[in-house]
Amino acid sequence: MDNFWVFGYGSLMWRPGFAHVETRKARLYGYRRALCVKSHIHRGTPQRPGLVLGLDRGGSCLGLAFSVPGALSAEVLAYLRERELVTNVYLERRLPVRLEGGPVVEALAYVVDRTHFQYAGKLDAASAAQRVSGATGRSGPNEEYVINTVQHLRALGIRDPWLEEVAELIA
């Protein structure tokens, strides 16, 4: 099997957890990074769910694409499915992404399932900040997740004005 690409838009960007031979900035069209997934374990509880990132329809998303050696495809796919498909709120898709300064390639991406009970819908920044504020789960406070995400994105030279606005509202 040939090398394949994986698109990361959140924690996969700074903590991929799988072997890869190349990393490039890439843009996915037709989807945007959004706090659109209700978290009732890691960043909230069933009584007070927090929000975590998902790729939702509309706009575009700048992230990172990782080239995975074909020889590792079964291992990497198993790892990603275990990591991303725990509650099946994400759908595994192969989507075209434009590599920075390069061609369009097909990349594996995980997009939110809008029919899943964890889908929070399209929220404005104030509504998202309100849901994030005070939510805490196994992995810690939801505010910490959002602020750390913005800091990691900035360190990678990626700006996300909507997410930055949410972080400012909760800070």
- CATH assignment at residue 85: 3.10.490.10
| Residues in contact with 33: Cβ distance below 8 Å, sequence separation at least 6, in sequence order | 9, 10, 53, 55, 61, 63, 160, 162, 163
Domain assignment present for 75? yes
The domain tally of the chain equals 1
Domain assignment present for 168? no
Above 70 in pLDDT, residue 1? Answer: no
Domain assignment present for 59? yes
Distance of CA 88 to the CA centre of its chain: 14
Give the tens place of pLDDT for each residue, 48-68.
Answer: 999 999 999 999 999 999 999
Give the tens place of pLDDT for each residue, 11-36.
Answer: 999 999 999 999 999 999 999 999 99
Domain assignment present for 109? yes
Give the tens place of pLDDT for each residue, 147-169.
Answer: 999 999 999 999 999 999 999 99
Write down the pTM of the prediction.
0.93
Domain assignment present for 169? no
Query: Measuring CA to CA, which residue among 16, 21, 18, 15 is closest to residue 2?
Result: 21
Residue range(s) defining the domain that contains residue 67: 4-162
Mean pLDDT of the chain: 96
pLDDT value, residue 2:
86
Domain assignment present for 39? yes
Residues pairing with 105 in the sheet: 97
pLDDT value, residue 126:
98
Domain assignment present for 157? yes
Domain assignment present for 171? no
